Amino acid sequence: MMGGNHALSGALVWLAAAPVLGQERLLGEAAVNLTPKQLLAGAVVTAGAALLPDIDHHNGRIANTFGPVTRVFCKYVGKISGGHRQATHSIFFAVLMGFAMWALATYAIYGWWAALFVIIGFGLRGIGFDFEGKEPQSSILDCVLAGLAVYLMHDLDMSFAGYAVALGCLAHIAGDCLTPRGCPVFWPLRARIGLPLIPRTDGKVERWVIAPVLTVGVVILTMRSVLGDLGVEILTGSNTG
Ligand SMILES: [Zn+2]
């Protein structure tokens, strides 16, 4: 699946899941009621995290995000995880990443900012934000934009980071499951799960079905959130007036 579609699928899953995340009846103390700013930040984090499972690919698009640093990192992740589309394409990895990012955001804010910088860098590269293979210009652009995004989010309560990252990874895995190779969703079990609806990366199905469906979904859910917030403001405004 194309990076841009992975990122879109992440944002879509986040926007769809947001109302559920606020339900205390369902999640108890782990429920988070998101402000509009948090909802937007979460969409950015989830879109970036939706590229994360591909850190097992040393020659993939996101391996080049920060030049040799990420190339070497991805090479080792690939070795440890058993190659491309192995351990990092599983529920285990999604939950592990979600938990790790929640812990960073809650107990080690500088660590979280560093992780956020990397996640957003991956996201930008994934959606094709680079100068067509030109390095180091592309890496510098990634650094500047990711740094700016981290700055914009630095004083936001990001206790929802774990949910965003886990959901992003799961969205990526679901997308890859639609390709012929499938994913070992229940790793360490070896069975690969797949429903090959997308026969070829960047083929007709991806361009003319998947991409438009994801885009329309993100637009509809964004509108729903914005209109929902406006409704709340109008209601509370009329109450106080
Ligand atoms: Zn993948």
CA 183 to centroid of ligand 1, rounded, Å: 8
Please say whether the beta carbons of 236 and 230 come within 8 A.
no
Write down the pLDDT at residue 41.
Answer: 95
Mean pLDDT, consecutive 10-residue segments, the chain of 241 residues?
93 95 91 92 96 90 88 94 95 98 95 96 86 83 93 93 98 96 95 91 89 93 80 63 43
Write down the pLDDT at residue 238.
Answer: 52
pTM of the model: 0.91
Write down the pLDDT at residue 126.
Answer: 85
CA 49 to centroid of ligand 1, rounded, Å: 12
Please say whether the beta carbons of 90 and 184 come within 8 A.
yes
CA 67 to centroid of ligand 1, rounded, Å: 20
CA 184 to centroid of ligand 1, rounded, Å: 11
CA 176 to centroid of ligand 1, rounded, Å: 6
Q: How far is CA 65 from the centre of its chain?
A: 15
CA 155 to centroid of ligand 1, rounded, Å: 32
- For the chain, the domains span 3-240
What tokens appear for 87 in the block?
A: 């351990």
The values of phi and psi at residue 193, to 5°, are -105, 135
In whole angstroms, give the CA distance from residue 241 to residue 5. 45
CA 197 to centroid of ligand 1, rounded, Å: 15
